[in-house]
Amino acid sequence: MSMWLRVQGVRALPSAIFLLLAGCGGGTTSPSSPSPSSFLTGTWTGTVTIQVNPGDPNAPPPTTGPMTWTVSVVPQTNLQAFTTTIRSQDPWLAMETMASTALTPGNTPPASISTQGGYNSPRGCRGTFASIGMAQATRIEADFNGSDCQLATFSGTMVLTKQ
């Protein structure tokens, strides 16, 4: 006897398999697990102090202003890569921009933190910056250096605390 059954002249096995498979996959799904989070995720606030053209005898005095970082994890990066919205209200460097941030060697505090990006300078050009420092669970201390219009450079420090 053949594996194929005849029901009123139609092969029934393929139809039966189709009916069984048609019911698959329509059930409820279990809730997905929440996205992993990092100690770095969230809002950090503090101050930045900037010296324009360090070493130049005619350099202006250093300036200090509020700085806010809002940090988000980049998916599938072992919680070591982030996008960061940076807002500086320093009198010389008033800007808001997006930057790339990384933690090394791991993703738990304390960890080395590095951030780099570009910004639209209040002086009419596109500036660049980089920051390297140490991230603790609730505090970041780092340098903040970059270049701006007309060959200006700046060097400074920042201290941020987790909100």
Note the pLDDT tens digit of each residue in 20-71: 334 444 444 445 556 679 999 999 999 999 999 999 999 999 999 999 999 9
Q: Flag whether 150 is in a domain.
A: yes
- Chain center to CA of 20: 46
Task: Print the domain residue range for 95.
Answer: 42-162
Q: Flag whether 9 is in a domain.
A: no
Distance from C-alpha of 36 to C-alpha of 61, rounded to nearest angstrom? 43
- Chain center to CA of 9: 64
At residue 18, the 3 state secondary structure works out as helix
Q: Flag whether 32 is in a domain.
A: no
Q: Flag whether 2 is in a domain.
A: no
Residue 102 sits in a domain whose CATH number is 2.40.160.20
Asked if 131 and 145 touch (Cβ cutoff 8 Å), the reply is yes
Q: Flag whether 67 is in a domain.
A: yes
pTM, entire model: 0.79
Q: Flag whether 18 is in a domain.
A: no
Structure tokens at 68: 């806010």
What is the domain count for the chain? Answer: 1
